A = this chain, B = another copy of it.
Amino acid sequence: MSCAYCRTDHSDKSAEWSHAEPEYRRLFTNCGHSRRYGPGETLFLQGDGNRGVYYLESGLVALRRSDENGNSALVCLNHPDDLIGYPAFLSQKEHRNTAEVLTPSKIYFIDASRLRWMLNSDPNLKESFLERALLDLDRAEANCAALLTADLRCRLFHLLLTFSKSYGTQLSDGSPGVELPVQRKDLAALLGAKPESISRLIRMLDQEGLVRFKGRLVAISSLNRLAAEVSIFN
């Protein structure tokens, strides 16, 4: 039962994030400067000039796009092994998004001039960037498709399943659970809703019993039933 939008089998917990280590990983962890970031810190701001590229070793980072009136949305979630800020580097333009750290993260920074040198000496590196761009493009299009067709409940389920891949735990009663890595307002920004709507939706789901929330801890009675709803997409 695979999801038509992101094409992952949400009923198989081990699938998505156990992919092969990307080629650039060793290069960037060797040549980059690592730093630890806390929630709320930013790597760069929308409109900033590019100074280099970030490799996310652990943690969670979101890309936010805003307009001049305070409207803003989280257009992308970056998980470990993701590369951040590379579009501005490759296209020599300003960053189009702000990169916000959501959970404590270890991130390598590779300086633009050094990276340019590395690109010249290693033709395979450009290949890696291309692969990454294609992955991100597909992810973005899948997100568009879901936003265009699925309602909030469905999108929340999908997000829960996504989080369960990285943050899934086993609860004391043996049922699967997720420790949400973000607060409600970020859930809202990711789903295109207001925090109040998220709260209300959560209450409904609690009453249904399919998913029970307690703060950031979510108990999921059946991952498969969730996956089924996501697959049905209503």
Binding site for B on A (CB under 8 A): 3-5, 7, 63, 65-69, 71-76, 87, 90-91, 96-97, 123, 126-127, 129-131, 133-134, 136-138, 140-145, 147-150, 189, 191-192, 231-234
Contact = CB atoms under 8 A, between A and B. Distances in A.
A131 B3 CA distance: 29
Contact of A87 (B73, B137, B189, B191): B137
Q: Please tell me how many copies of the chain the complex holds.
A: 2
B67 A231 contact: yes
Contact of A148 (B136, B147, B232): B147
A146 B225 CA distance: 31
A5 B68 CA distance: 10
B234 A69 contact: yes
A116 to B, nearest CB: 14
29 contacts: A3-B67, A4-B66, A4-B67, A5-B65, A67-B231, A69-B232, A71-B149, A71-B234, A72-B149, A73-B145, A73-B148, A75-B144, A76-B141, A76-B144, A87-B134, A90-B134, A96-B138, A96-B142, A97-B141, A126-B126, A126-B130, A129-B130, A130-B130, A130-B133, A140-B140, A140-B143, A140-B144, A147-B148, A148-B192
Contact of A137 (B3, B67, B140): B140
Given A65-B142, A71-B149, A140-B144, 7 more contacts: A7-B96, A65-B145, A67-B233, A69-B232, A72-B149, A126-B127, A133-B134
A125 to B, nearest CB: 12
A68 B130 contact: no
Contacts of A138: 87, 96
A48 to B, nearest CB: 14
Contacts of A133: 130, 133-134, 137
A75 B130 contact: no
Nearest to A6: B96
A131 B90 CA distance: 8
B141 A96 contact: yes
Nearest to A188: B148
Given A91-B134, A96-B138, A144 B143 contact: yes
